[in-house]
Chain A
Amino acid sequence: MNVRVLLFGPLAEIAGASVSVNAVADTDSLISTLHKSYPVLAESKYVIAVDRHVITSNTLLSENSVVALLPPFSGG
């Protein structure tokens, strides 16, 4: 299963604005795969959205799911 991940703000500097991840069933396994590939990501704070809904617990992914990693911004 192929999942597209969009990274916002400073997270895009770590892994690029968009990455494709294969063979993950849910958001927990997606995040652990991403943290292995990009260890600095594990030290960042962000929330996860699946298909434009911010989630608060592990969520099953389907073919062509789009996951977004959204960090808080402080600037004003």
Chain B
Amino acid sequence: MSEANSYERYSRQIILPGFGKEGQQKLFAAKVFVVGAGGLGCPVLQYLAATGVGSIGIADDDLVALNNLHRQILYSVKDIGLSKAERAADILRQLNAEITITPYNKKITTQNALALFEPFDIIIDGTDNFAARYLINDACVLLKKPLVYGAISQFEGQVAVFKNENERDVSYRDLFPNPPKDGEVANCAEAGVLGVLPGIIGTMMANETIKMITGIGTSLANQLLTYNASTNEVYQFSLPGRTTHSHSPKTKAEFLTTDYEWLCSSAATDEEIDADTFRDLIEKGDVDVIDVREPHELPKANEFSNIKIPLSQLPRNYIEIRSDSVVTFCQTGSRSLQAVKILKGIFGTEKKVYSLRGGILEWQRRVK
């Protein structure tokens, strides 16, 4: 496409006050890396590609699933089972062939994060778990790269910008110093999410990125914005100054050996059993199966008998548990790990207590 055509394409933003051809040239020259091509990543990627960001990296090791489509609006039914990073790259190239889009069909780890982020100017966190969020934050602090953060829960979203230019800039760890343990905070698969919410929050993240690149407007740096899609309430909170964090790696060598999965305890443990072991246990009988989800949660578990005790009531309400073997389950297997800890605190070594890995969703997938 000729330069004249190219400017015609972006003419409606170029004529904005303070934007101009200079703003467009800054966008062409910008290199942005988006981690996660899911609910938040899709709108971020669409707007960055449409606005003419010159180079976009996309990392995601996940595949498109049917239950993604209500919120991950880049994908269609025909994409189910395909790599999100690769599908997103192909679809965005159709939207804008003038820019460079590089998909990485892999999970971000301590081993690849620094090398992947290094060539880019801005990193965007659209991931769905705490281990990834703390890892990405720490990599950005070490590399002094600005991080645009967004996260969602049911009807609510958070957006922030961490500039990471110097020692005074606050980071994600200044906002939330300690990683929550897995199961303390429910994710989208467990708690649900309104499809349009990541669209709104992801669009805000794209907006902050475009403002940062072009220098227009007021940045959300050192601020946390919250949005409630149910009530339309928006709040902006100023963040405290930089503090020292005992867990955050101070050097690249330290970063490489930090175990983020362990910090957020999302890795497998011997307290977990898989669907096959679970089936053997319930066939043998003499096991109490506990559904630790809240009463309204779906899908219902009708395939095997179980006792319903929501996690919040478990510390007080365990009188019905009589068998020597106990299996707890929830939606995806994270709250049930919390339940195992609670029940071990109550019964000690008196009972064997397990959590069903992958929860009822994984079980029902296997059975089908």
Cβ-based interface call for A24 (8 A): no
CA distance A23 to B180 in the complex (A): 31
Using a CB-CB cutoff of 8 Å, which residues 22-45 of chain A contact chain B? 40, 43-45
A45-B157 in contact (CB<8A)? no
- Give CA–CA (A29, B150) in the complex, Å: 32
Pick the contact of B240: A43, A56, A68, A75 (CB < 8 A): A56
Q: By the criterion CB–CB under 8 Å, are A55 and B185 in contact?
A: no
Pairwise interchain contact A75-B151, C-beta atoms closer than 8 A: yes
**Contacts A45-B178, A47-B176, A56-B240 given; does A73 touch B126 at CB 8 Å:** no
- Report Cα–Cα, A55/B237, bound state, in Å: 10
Q: Of the candidates A8, A49, A68, A75, which one forms a contact with B152 in the assembled complex, judged by CB atoms under 8 Å apart?
A: A75
Are the CB atoms of A53 and B238 closer together than 8 Å? yes
Q: Complex Cα distance A17/B230, Å?
A: 12
The answer on a CB contact under 8 Å between B240 and A76 is no
Minimal beta-carbon separation of B38 from chain A (angstroms):
5
Chain B interface category by residue count? 35 or more
A52's partner among B150, B188, B236 (CB-CB below 8 A) is B236
Q: Is the CB of A16 closer than 8 A to any CB of chain B?
A: no
Q: Max chain A CB contacts within 10 Å: which of B36, B133, B156? A: B156
Cross-chain contact A74 with B237 (CB below 8 angstroms): no
Which of B128, B150, B175, B240 has the most C-beta atoms of chain A within 10 angstroms of its own C-beta?
Answer: B240
In the complex, chain B residues whose CB is within 8 Å of the CB of A72: 130, 151, 175-176, 180, 185
Q: Which residues of the other chain, B, contact A56 by a CB distance below 8 angstroms?
A: 240, 243
- In whole Å, how far is A13's beta carbon from the nearest beta carbon of chain B? 8
Task: Tell me the smallest distance from the CB of B76 to a CB of chain A, in Å.
Answer: 20
Residues of chain B at the chain A interface (Cβ within 8 Å)? 36, 38-41, 125-130, 133, 150-154, 156-158, 175-176, 178, 180, 184-188, 191, 193, 198, 224, 226, 231, 235-240, 243, 312
Q: A residues near B, CB below 8 A?
A: 6, 8-10, 14, 17, 40, 43-45, 47, 49, 52-56, 68, 70-76
